[in-house]
Amino acid sequence: MAVEEEGLRVFQSVKIKIGEAKNIPPYPGPNKMRDCYCTVNLDQEEVFRTKTIEKSLCPFYGEDFYCEIPRSFRHLSFYIFDRDVFRRDSSIGKVAVKKEDLQKYHGKDHWFPLQPVCADSEVQGKVHLELRLSEVITDSGVVCHKLATRVLECQDLPIVNGQCDPYAAVSLLGLSRSEAKKTKVKRKTNNPQFDEVFFFEVTKPLSYTKRQFDVEEDDVDKLALKVDLWNASNLKFGDEFLGEVRMPLKVLGQSGVHDAWYFLQPRDNGNKSVKADELGSLRLNIVYTEDHVFPTEHYNPLRDLLLQSAHVKPVSASAAHILGEVCREKQEAAVPLVRLFLHYGKIVPFLSAIAHAEINRTQDPNTIFRGNSLTSKCIDETMKLAGMHYLRVTLKPIIDEICTDHKPCEIDPVKLKESENLDTNRENLRQYVDRIFNVITSSGVSCPTVMCDIFFSLRESAASRFQVDPDVRYTAVSSFIFLRFFAPAILSPNLFHLRPHHPDPCTSRTLTLISKTIQTLGSLAKSKSANFKESYMAAFYDYFNEQKYADAVKNFLDLISSSARWDQKSIETPIMLKEGFMIKRAQGRNRFGLKNFKKRWFRLTNHEFTYHKTKGNAKGEGALCSIPIENILAVERLEEESFKMKNMFQVIQPERALYIQANNCVEARDWIDILTKVSQCNRKRLSTYHPSAYLNGHWLCCKLSADTAPGCTPCTGGLPANIQLDVDGDRETERIYSLYSTYMSKLVKMQEACGSKSVYDGPEQEEYSTFVIDDPQETYKTLRLVISAVQTLEQQHMQYKRDKFRKTKYGSQEYPIGDQSFQCYIRQQSESSTYSI
């Protein structure tokens, strides 16, 4: 979700690897071990939770999390909790990284010490205050000065124990005073509108002077205004602290007026600091990205250069190939390049060109596509994007079964448990391998067309290059579809969205053994048993040492690398797209039924959207409600005022709307996106909708009384119906520009290498040997155009920054006082006149 800023769109995203924790303090009791899980929070809002690792003080999570961040935030926080079956889970410690500090840890594994979790430090949100110092003439004719403090509103306060009933307490602090006044409590909202004014006497009556009033500097310096935000609680423990603001009255200046937004701050309660590693530490890898995307016309020169890459001769002289040469990791270049070429329908000619060039540089057919080249990384990324549904159809049902049943499959005699039987385990493993192998080799007709086209090109290029090797047309394809697609998906199903979490150690071991066997079956190697270092794996593979397995692999590879095009396949078996618990409001299908809120298990397939009483019911036919996809007319957010509840959205049907509350803002956006995409091609989709609910006989938004009244607000913009390939071409071009800008020094060095190679035809200089330059003149020409396009975009970004700096006001709603990222930004502007996103 992008934030619009004067014609420029800003996207935020974060990709996190949650590795492991270590040295967690032991449980105070005879059983020292803990059952720990980790949460990811945007400020105080939880957006992800790992699985629970039981009985460990050094839990290994090994989980990845990616999300588009749909709102502003101050901290990215990680909490370690100890699960308690009988009581509320207790927090052990946290890691809180300020938004402005995220770049320090970008893409690096880092051990963060856990800090104590204190209620007084768990704050978020901002408050709008207006202060006015005025003269008041008393009845006796003398003048005193009074401070009028207006508390207007707050935004983004945290939800505490499922509720937020905030109020503000305003105090004037001085050497001998501490007056406190409170606003009214605002129920069920974390964006309260107070608009209340409180008066405080600042100075004692003075002689009246018409020329001016003056508060002595000493008096002002001794006074401060404090605003505390509290959550009114019905619990016996009292109200919960939400944050505070302290302001010395000297902020009033000469005008005597101050109007500003403030970030709420934690309370300094004098807690003793905790020593490093006293609570343990957490290993994280954080990649935070902020894309500033201009209107599409700004990217035309660079985008045109990139999209012409497939037709540049040689392809090594193209803009896309050059990006792969200068990036530190090929993966950096592959992700935006693949998404851009997929978006514009040019992925097949581009991949065919770079694969053909790589095959021609390969001397041994046995090493084809073995390295981490730009070609292999781009094809990997294409398969991930285009093949996600394909994986769900083929692998997900049996992967779910393996993770649920926990059948013993260990075949290493050294690791065998006393209660297990080696022959039984082998048979369990053999059945799993057989079933997965049969599912894969019979799925050729379901393979996405774009993948088939790429495999056809690989097959033809390899067969043409190595004509004496009859199997190379198979190994060129199997090295991707088996080695880089199916085998990794079986090994780590959570990374391919087949499972929500990393499997437990026992299941992970089973999946490892299956993955190794499937990988070997698909490789068509001459001596299979020689592929295994372990003797127990070689013995196990004897089960599959039959010609029928090799024939099945070849038939499958022939089918998915055929040049024949099929029509779009309609898959009869429903594909499960998303599921999870949410809260829904009764739809009122029974006229006199109560319209209350209930927690339900929701499932979305490509056929229908259903909810069930429990997760277990979803496996049978126990749907409480089923909405066919063709009946979804629109999916939109629901304004908070409707039910005083956050993260709500509505699924609009012909006769009614289903109101749903997601667990957090990220989950709400994900559900809205996927429901919108899967229903995008419905013929009767609405163009307008009601952003608020129909309550008490009228729509809250437009006040119309008819429940069938047409919507009063235009529906949000349409999205592509293809769920996997929802790509923003301008955003991907911006990311590519950012990479070119980051590696500008390498672009210049590559120019020098072209010059050196053109003039000096002897051995290459060592500093230039890392670049692939087949045609120095063509490569130099492309480099000159790339650098020119990048410099033009750089100037546009700099101009935007200067304009924004000139217009930005510290203390505005966008940049509240206390925003350290803004102060950091001010410092950057004063220190340097150049910048890149």
Q: What is the pLDDT of residue 821?
A: 56
Q: What does 547-558 look like in DSSP terms, one character per residue?
A: HHHHHHHHHHHH
Q: What is the pLDDT of residue 176?
A: 62
Using DSSP, state whether 798 is helix, strand or coil: helix
Q: What is the pLDDT of residue 178?
A: 63
Helix axes 547-560, 472-481, angle to 10 degrees: 80
Quickly list H helices, 199-326: 217-221, 300-307, 319-326
- Give which of 409, 424, 428, 420 is closest to 506, Cα–Cα: 409
- Give which of 319, 266, 350, 328 is closest to 74, Cα–Cα: 266
Structure confidence by residue, pLDDT tens digits, 620-674: 567 899 999 889 999 999 998 888 888 999 999 988 899 999 999 999 988 998 8
CA distance 527 to 530: 6
H/E stretch holding 330: helix 330-343
CA distance 582 to 599: 6
Q: What is the pLDDT of residue 745?
A: 93
Phi, psi for 265 (deg, rounded to 5): -120, 155
- Give which of 431, 434, 436 is closest to 391, Cα–Cα: 436
CA distance 829 to 165: 40
Max CA pair span of the chain:
112
CA distance 777 to 317: 9
Structure confidence by residue, pLDDT tens digits, 527-570: 455 567 788 888 888 888 888 999 999 989 988 887 543 333 33
- Give which of 319, 301, 302 is closest to 310, Cα–Cα: 319
Q: What does 782-795 look like in DSSP terms, one character per residue?
A: HHHHHHHHHHHHHH
Q: What is the pLDDT of residue 828?
A: 54
pLDDT beneath 50: ranges in the chain: 206-218, 270-271, 276, 527, 564-572, 589, 591-593, 718-724, 830-837
Helix axes 449-465, 374-386, angle to 10 degrees: 150
Q: What is the pLDDT of residue 503?
A: 87
